Every structure is written in structure tokens, then in C-alpha cells.
Amino acid sequence: MTHVWRVGVPLVVATLALSGCLPSLGSPVSTAAPEVGACRVLTPDDVGQPSNDSGTVSCRDAHTAETYEVGALPTQFAHASYDDPDVAAWAYQSCSRKFIQFTGADESLAMRTILSWVWFRPSSDAWDRGARWYRCDVIGGGDQVRSYVDLPTTAKGLLLGRPKDEWMVCADGTTVSGSVKVPCSEKHDWRAVTTIVIGKADTAYPGDHAVQVRTRDFCSKSVGAWLDYPVDYNFGYSWFDRAEWNAGNRRSVCWARTDS
């Protein structure tokens, strides 16, 4: 359910970075941007890298990732370092917004689906040669999944209406923390049933303890309501730290103990 939890050059050069190769000594380094709609077989190891040059496959064949957004980074990053955190924060917000638009999810559903997204930048060599594009891929899984699931021919609109259980996230384990996340169509012990808003867009980060306590208290009530106020029930919760708060996330996830 990661998002994925990982947190100038003249205009003519930026244009070249999106359309071809710049001259270089030795082996040529491509600065061309990837294509929207391309499908790939990505693994968790691939997703953990800042850039990716995996070959594409037909979207009719088995694949775990689909590129849904490619674009040029703003000119303010023309001279940014390769690992500039401001670049990561900008890409996080852009890919999050585009993920919701592409899949048809709302903010709550986007945090309760087995689907996630990852963003990639150019290789470090291409970056040094002026490439300033970013790529957003929807992937069939997130943190703590056993393996990524295959996506349909396209994930566009996949979360519109009431999504099937195979695209919703559940957890297999005695507690939510540290459990393995699985599609709700598989055997599970917990289901992500609601999200709750912890703060407003302009609210300063209140600190780890405050976020955790608010999440626990709100989720107790939220899960009770989702279960129609039973006499006894178990609930869990996932909260996110300062890094995701600074990137724009103001929600925590509430889990109900259930096998259905």
C-alpha cells in the first residue's frame, strides 16, 4: 500500500531531454523519456531503485506495472541534485494525484487498494546530461506483499465503483503491524475498511506520538461503525510519519479483524 513509501537548463536542452539523446563521450546515454501506456514486469527490487530501464512487454501479456504518467520536471529543478528531496516531494504529489485520476479511486480508496504506484527518474548519467523527466507506474502491490500481482491489460478505471476484492488490500497475520499484505480475495485476517483524516492541508506535523494516538482513537470509532457497533471487536491501524505528511498525506488507515 505503499505510495511507494520511499519518498536552470535552457528550455532547448529540456526539450532534447524528452525527445532524444545528447552527445556524450564514450557509449551514448539515452536521455529520452519513456512512453505512457508501456507495461513491464517489475519486482520489489526494481521498485526500490531510483531509476529503471526494464524492457517493456505487451500489455496483453503478464505484467506487474503500467506507466500512466510521464512528464518533464518543472524548470525549478533544472540544476537540482540527483537525490534532491524536493524533487521527490514534487513527484510524490504529482504521481499520487495522477494515480487517483487514472484508476478512478478517491483518496480513501487509493490507500485501501492492493495497487500502488512508484515513480522513477532518469539514470544518474542521463540526469548529468540534462534529462529532467519523471515516470509514474501503477504496480500490482506495495510494501510487505509476498509478490506483485499481474495487472489487467490496462489499470485505467480499475477502481471505479465498487472494486473487486482482488484489488483491495487485506493483511495476513496476528497483528496488522508487520503482517503480509494480500489481496482480499486471498485468505486474510484483517481488512482495510476506512481511512480517517488526521489534519488539514496547512496543519504542521503534530509529531509521531500525536498522530499515532489520534489514529488509534479515530479508528476505534470508525471500525466500530463499519462493523455496525458490535459488543466486541478487534481493530488495527496504520499511520504515516513526517515524510509522508510533508509530501501531502493527511490520512491514516483503519483495519477490521475479519476473514471476509
Domain ranges of the chain: 11-139, 189-257
pTM of the model: 0.82
Q: Is 12 helix (H, G, I), strand (E, B) or coil?
A: helix
pLDDT exceeds cutoff 50 at 28: yes
Q: What is the Cα gyration radius of the chain?
A: 20
Angle at 170 between CA 250 and CA 193, to 5 degrees: 50
- Kind of pairing between the strands at 65-72 and 39-40: antiparallel
Residue in 63, 139, 41, 147 with CA at minimum distance from that of residue 95: 139
| pLDDT at residue 244 is higher than 90 | no
| pLDDT at residue 27, as a whole number | 62
- pLDDT for 145: 72
Task: Calculate what percentage of the chain has a pLDDT beyond 90.
Answer: 78
Outline where 82-235 has alpha helix (H).
85-103, 107-110, 124-128, 208-226
Q: Measured between alpha carbons, how far is 166 from 82 in angstroms, rounded to an integer? A: 37
pLDDT of residue 15: 31
User: 129 falls in which pLDDT band (50, 70, 90)?
Assistant: very high
Residue 179: band (very low, low, confident or very high) from pLDDT cuts 50, 70, 90: confident
Indicate the range of 22-31, 62-71, 198-207, 244-253 predicted with least confidence: 22-31
